[in-house]
Chains A and B, each alone.
Chain A
Amino acid sequence: MKNKVTRVLLLFFFIFSGFLVRAQTSGITLEIKNKTILEVMQLLEKDYALKFIYSSDKIDVSKEISMHIINASLENVLKKMFVSGSVLWQVRDHTILLYPNPNQLYTLSGYVREQGTGELLIGVMVGTNPVKAGCITNAYGFYSITVPEDTFDILFLYLGYKKYIIKDLVLHENTGMDITLENASTLNDILVKANLKTTQKSLNNFEIPTLKINEVPMLLGEKDIMRYIMLLPGIQKGNEGSNYLYVRGGGMDQNLVLMDDAIIYHAYHLFGISSLFSGNELRRAEIIKGGFSAKYGGRLSSVVDLSLKDGNREKLGVEASLGVISSKLQVEGPLQKNKSSFFISTRRSYISEVSGFLAQNSEEAFNYNFYDLHAKLSFELNAKNRLILSGFIGNDFLSNKQGTIDKNDGIGWNNKATTIRWNHQYNGRLFSNTSLVYSFYNTLIGMKDNSSASNVGSGIQDYSIKHDIDYLLPGYSRWRFGLGSTRHTFTPKAYLMYSDSFTNFEQSKITDYIAWENHVYAEFDYQPNKKWKTILGLRLTNFISGPKFYLRPEPRINSEYDFGHGWFVHANYSLMNQYTHLVSSGSFGITSDIWLPASEQVKPQQSHLFSLGFNKNNMLQLPVNISMAAYYKYIYQMVGLKDGTSLLSILPIPGFNNLLNNWNELITQGKCEAYGTELMLSKEGDHFSGWLSYTLSKTNLQFDDVNRGISFPATYDRRHDFGIYLSWHSGKHFRINSTWIYGTGNAVSLPSSVYFPVKHELYSGTGFMFPILDYESKNAYRMAAFHRLDVSMQYISVIKKHWISTIELSVFNVYNRANPYYYQLSNENADGTGKLLLKQISFFPVMPSISWTLKY
């Protein structure tokens, strides 16, 4: 307002001053090098008898410029002096009135970091007061808002961090400004939880507060991000001993797990009991179940987008934890203070050592171990360029023999991923990232005796390049563009057999399939005002597998409206294609996982997902939020195994006949229809917080080659799914957390009766007539319902001012519920005689555990 008044007064003075004659328009010659605008004006006033009138607090004349002008008009000279367009002028004879351009927009941009560590923060809400513009920091902590020249407060809000406000900011030019946010948790107030008061707007995506993961009680105290995610609505809970994700009726292969842009094909240790990510090593974690951005693709059901910590840019940090089955060490620090950093986190189990110690003889010991290593190097090359290198290795191995680890004798799997990323800021509104990614996953079954050995494995290896651009418009809107290409190498079956002395190959059979997956996308984030937001995206995907060339568009739309008073509604639609398929026999676990490409015979999977929901914050004037959403998902070309097949029919496991030479013979494709309603009720208080999630859902599958072509419930079909999380803390040192989960039992196929078939007498065939088990229908029965209560108590203290010690005592399965792991038909007697009985096999009884974490 003050700005406008000044401008009007100056104009008024100028118009009525009585000197309104024509200005000099030509004949100016200047040779200027690195002089301020003020100096140039003084020179012009002196040499050409000109007079400049301006308000020094509105016009920045301190900027240095260089000019080489010969016999130019005054208009041209002024244009070169104020090339940015931020200043306008009126010329009357020898007098020039300078005033700010009222339509000039300026961009404030930079990175948001955590105070004390320099860690980049993703998803920070940036907005102006009064409301003119806003944005959220992108995956690299970059923000940009473009506003007219005026006085604003700029607000930075982030989960678990103190609000940061820049008061009365006036931009006269595009400005770069890095911001640091202070963590709400301090040494003196270590029990302050991650602040969840930031409103949850939709059940489609959840930003996982990584600090919270440490609070949730888990099996044997092993912290696990997947276990945390499973407490959320729409994600199936209660698969005994398994953290595989089943999201909104999708299969376990339909989740895209990304770590720093690299695809993690199998994000689990211990046959799915624990995941590769405990949470401490992560800077940010998000799960997206619907309303997908066009930048994501390749999977149908969810995206788990994880970012590894960059490492502390200011000082050395160490964190160590000692658990029941594994220990972890994390080290981070600056390579060059505030310029570059490193981060290393490693975990190793000692299951075989503990098992060997406890076992009465070596034959009873369980020779299994896993380890993982996460590492990252970040370099700030200059204000506009950053280079980030990150890597990851995860390995599990169960040895057949005790005492030694022989890769040729046991079952194992490993993941590797490396990413090189280059962040470049073209200007305050245009940001790009280029990534080079290598990703690898394989499984191996090795068997060896004194005279021979054989290895059977399958795997997938990717090389990717991708380029993403963020272009932020004034106000709230933005464009996103990107393209990328991935070269997949699938090895569904690798088979090596060695003869005596292990030198001669008896048989060697390795079949690789190479496929290319390419994409290009554009997305417009249209936000005309703070209340209404619509994201329109189009992703064009291409898959080349042998002679087959697939080209498919994927439209996406996501619309949100804020009605005020805490009411918020959203609706969205996503079309997704999946070109890589996991064929897995759920009952057999990791070693049966085979990743396969879409091909001429096996078509890409495609899904249509609709969802609609609302959110209400601060219900009844209390810090209680309620969110609800309904979804409908239809999947074409869902991949499944044909009736009667086993992955062992294709894997040439010694002792079993290799019945099929081509994996295409195992696979059938059909349809999946899933729909449901999700509800989440959450409360955040100073001492007490928690949430309740509930999902009512149905998932049916139909394949022409399965269950006589009749539709049947998916194994993971769940009618009811409850999750409750409660956390309470009192004083400064104690925290008690508990979770209770309940899920309808998994669908299971069981034979009800048995009979001897007959064949036509002209069809005698060969061999003995086997008794046939009559299953009636696939997945016709239900396992017992799953429910379990877990509780943990944490004592947190500060040791010698700088060390934070957390001792956790947790009890898994408090009331010792025997949840079904699998069902099995077996004879009454151990020697295989007697009546047939159906037995429920359960693991994981009540299990107390203790762990200790020390953080510097």
Chain B
Amino acid sequence: MRNLILITGICIFLTACQKEQVVNYVIPQKQKLFAACFIGDSDSITSVYLTRTTPVIGSENIDKVLIKDASVQISTFNQTIGLPYDDNLQVYSTQANTLIIKPGIAYTLKVNAGNESVSGTTVVPVPAAVVLNTKIDSTLIAGDLFNTYRIETTCLQTSAGRYPIRLAAIMVFEDSGKVELTAEETNLLFEMEQNSSKTVHFTQFGYDIFSKPVRLEIIALTTDEAYYKYHQNIEKYKLNFFIPFGEPFFIYSNMSNKIGITGSYSTSHVTMYPL
């Protein structure tokens, strides 16, 4: 019996022997181009953000590997624009007036960097939503140093079909500074059927009393599928980031190398001022 207990003990001990071995060879070392471009009618410049990914294996820090010498072009059926690299903004960009952006037109982004090239295409959607009404809860505007705004805005989907819509509220200050207001709702991207409406609440806390807001811009963006899915995925990724044992997440991409985005949108605005 004593021997049996001894053998039992040895076996249990061995069971507890967890063995680890490094198997880095399973994953090939890869660096891929990551290009992101959003084309829309409200941007003052059209820009393309371009980096390389960092291989997981062997990395100690995740660095933004900016690429400055790539060839970046956006083309339509009759126009091709080259985008130079802007060191200040750290993106490839062009002024909005050099690229005519119209709903229904397809825009193709092409990037060549070294031996790699990627591309993606987007069709700018027709604006499908209007800002119906916006209310400011003035009772919250109080306090000596910091005031609080709570804004309720509703948009209406006016086009036939189902479109992804995004609402944004931007406050412009007398010093020309801009702040995008934080929404109370966690999901600001939603798909809407025709004649349906959606209400979103924005809150702005504690702006600098010495720089007063002069106007509020409420923007309804109608986005294409790529813009919508990409941003939705990123939000979901963030939500699930700390949940263990999750399934792998694949961020939506319409680029040829399955990473990055070429998205587009159209806007309709309502501006309220003075506040």
Contacts and interface: CB of A to CB of B under 8 A. Distances in A.
A775 B237 CA distance: 13
A643 B249 contact: yes
Given A648-B245, A707-B250, A847-B11, A754 B19 contact: no
Interface residues of A, number: 82
B23 interface: yes
A839 B42 CA distance: 48
Contacts of A767: 238
Interface string B15-31: 11111111110111011
Interface in A787-843: 818, 820, 823, 825, 833-843
B34 interface: yes
Given A644-B249, A756-B62, A840-B20, A354 B57 contact: no
Contacts of B49: 758
Given A755-B34, A843-B19, A659 B243 contact: yes
Contacts of B57: 835-838
A838 B182 contact: no
A750 B26 contact: yes
B53 interface: yes
B55 A354 contact: no
Contacts, number: 232
B7 interface: yes
B2 to A, nearest CB: 13
B14 A847 contact: yes
Interface stretch (A6-14, A542-550, A584-592, A671-679): A584-592
A232 to B, nearest CB: 27
B258 to A, nearest CB: 7
Given A648-B243, A752-B27, A839 B20 contact: yes
B21 A840 contact: yes
A839 B249 contact: no
A766 B184 CA distance: 10
Given A755-B259, A845-B17, A784 B23 contact: yes
Contact of A587 (B5, B236, B245): B245
Interface string B247-266: 11111110000110001010
Interface in A311-337: 322, 324-325
Contact of A646 (B4, B36, B219, B240): B240
B58 interface: yes
Nearest to B17: A845
Contact of B19 (A220, A647, A833, A841): A841
Nearest to A782: B26
Contacts of B26: 750, 781-784, 823, 838
A659 B240 contact: yes
A795 B34 CA distance: 66
A interface majority secondary structure: loop
B56 A773 contact: yes
B163 interface: no
Contacts of A770: 237-238, 241
A358 B9 CA distance: 7
B interface majority secondary structure: mixed
A346 interface: no
B32 to A, nearest CB: 6
B247 A646 contact: yes
B15 A844 contact: yes
B245 A644 contact: no
A174 interface: no
Q: Which of B55, B219, B252 has the most CB of A within 10 A?
A: B55
Interface in B126-184: 166, 168, 180, 182
Contact of B168 (A322, A645, A763, A783): A763
Contact of B56 (A645, A646, A751): A751
Contacts of B13: 358
B269 to A, nearest CB: 11
Contacts of A519: none
B244 interface: yes
Interface string A62-77: 0000000000000000
Given A706-B247, A762-B166, 6 more contacts: A751-B56, A753-B54, A767-B238, A778-B250, A837-B24, A841-B19
12 contacts: A357-B9, A649-B243, A708-B258, A753-B30, A767-B238, A772-B234, A773-B249, A774-B53, A784-B26, A835-B57, A846-B14, A850-B7
Interface of B: 4-5, 7-24, 26-28, 30-32, 34, 36, 38, 40, 42-43, 49, 51-60, 62, 64, 166, 168, 180, 182, 186, 188-189, 219, 221, 227, 231, 233-253, 258-259, 263, 265
Interface of A: 220, 322, 324-325, 351, 354-355, 357-358, 366, 585, 587-588, 592, 641-649, 656, 659, 706-708, 749-767, 770-778, 781-784, 818, 820, 823, 825, 833-850
